[in-house]
């Protein structure tokens, strides 16, 4: 495996882990909230995250690597914190707020990878192509959080 292939695989696998965190978090949140609109939103965004993971995984395989098959420790800790927070207060708002934070983390990771001059062109191309979709998911959760905060 060449250094470029290793760097491509590493860069994309980092994003797979963070995106997988988001998918798992959305799936869990969809099971925990009662509001049907939030359930539908969380389920839809989990599907978007799954599609991104699949696309990134395909790029890792095409580069000759093995796609990451788990999330990150930080993502798992954030989910545990969200469960605790939801148990102590407004469950729906708590999940939205924590998922919005998760979207912030994912968006930052994608932006950093796209802007990193050490990221190989093949990895940067796929990240740049997926970035608008990541941004759109972020914006949906940000807007939902702000709307819920104003309504409170």
pLDDT in tens, 78-132: 555 555 555 555 678 888 998 999 999 999 999 999 998 888 888 899 999 999 9
pLDDT at 16 (0 to 100): 93
- DSSP class of residue 6? H
- Asked if residue 53 has pLDDT above 70, the reply is yes
Q: Domain with 115 in it: what CATH number?
A: 1.20.1260.10
- Domain hosting 81: range is 3-151
In this structure, of 44-48, 68-72, 121-125, the range with the lowest mean pLDDT score is: 68-72
Residues 6+ positions from 138 with CB-CB distance below 8 Å: 100, 103, 104, 106, 107
pTM of the model: 0.85
Total domains in the chain come to: 1
């Amino acid at each position: 495996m060449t250094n470029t292939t290793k760097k491509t695989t590493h860069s994309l696998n980092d994003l797979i882990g963070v995106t997988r965190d988001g998918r798992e978090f959305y799936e869990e949140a969809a099971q925990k909230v009662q509001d049907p609109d939030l359930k539908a939103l969380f389920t839809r965004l989990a599907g978007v995250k799954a599609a991104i993971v699949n696309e990134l995984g395909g790029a890792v395989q095409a580069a000759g690597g093995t796609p990451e098959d788990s999330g990150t420790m930080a993502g798992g800790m954030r989910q545990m914190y969200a469960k605790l927070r939801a148990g102590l207060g407004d469950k729906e708002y708590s999940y939205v707020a924590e998922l919005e934070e998760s979207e912030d983390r994912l968006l930052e990771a994608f932006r950093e990878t796209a802007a990193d001059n050490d990221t190989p062109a093949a990895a940067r191309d796929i990240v740049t192509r997926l970035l608008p979709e990541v941004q759109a998911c972020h914006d949906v959760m940000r807007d939902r959080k702000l709307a819920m905060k104003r309504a409170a």
